[in-house]
Amino acid sequence: MIDERASVDPGAEIAPDAEVGPFTVIGPGVRLGPGCWVGPHAVIEGNTWLGEGVQVFQFASVGAPPQDQKYQGRATRLEVGDRTIIRESATLHRGTEGDRGVTRVGSDCLVMAYVHVAHDCQVGDHVVLSNAVTLAGHVEVEEHAVIGGMSAIHQFCRVGPHAFVGGASAVSMDVPPYASVAGNRARFYGLNSVGLERAQFPPTTVDALKRAFKVLFRQGYTRDTALAEVASAPEAEVPEVQRVLDFLRSSERGVVR
């Protein structure tokens, strides 16, 4: 159902069962999937594709051009996965031609009020971005990560899967998978034990990660020595430990320690 007071461009593709509230603006190139709900006073524009069951609350701005002075107005897009919730006054921008050309937010995410997802960000499934989180351009946040309120992530940083970033943090380096970090600048505090317990990781996996983290972050080894030590240990057979090793090896900005 589209409220008669909404402004919907004829070029938009709206699923028959999607709902659009009063005074909302839907521009050309927008696609609303089945079961989408858009509240009042939201703006969705550009080549923006929302998956099934996405909810967009009042005053959100979804799919606006990127805040990048190099952007020349070329056709880029924003993609949002199924069942993701975008709360009040959040801003999600399209990609730029200088990078992937697409900003992606995965399925089953919670994007809380006043969050900013900048151009070319890649956000995985089941991610929580708490109130007023700011992701600069080109940031990657992997699945099940949780970022606390009012935190800022520097451009080109990565946040690994199941990582936790404490509130009001400033992150300027990569956050390892399964880690807990916080502060300005963010510091490593250990394994995200609470998050792993909630996600029902088996105790054997959690124990292997604890042993690996002790070598990687607590014993004062150089990066290469620590990686070699863990890679040769029995823990390296655990897929989650291997994922940590791969993440650290591929880091270009350095890792929060």
Give the tokens for residue 203. 């105790």
DSSP-derived pairing of the beta strands 186-191 and 179-183: antiparallel
**CA–CA distance, 85 with 88 (Å, rounded to integer):** 10
Q: Which residues are catalytic?
A: 119-120, 137
Contacts of 161 (CB under 8 A, 6+ apart): 124, 142, 143, 144, 145, 177, 178, 243
**CA–CA distance, 224 with 206 (Å, rounded to integer):** 23
**CA–CA distance, 132 with 114 (Å, rounded to integer):** 5
Give the tokens for residue 230. 């863990």
The full DSSP string for 201-246 is --HHHHHHHHHHHIIIIIS---HHHHHHHHHTSGGGGSHHHHHHHH
Count of alpha carbons within 13 angstroms of residue 58, beta-carbon side: 5
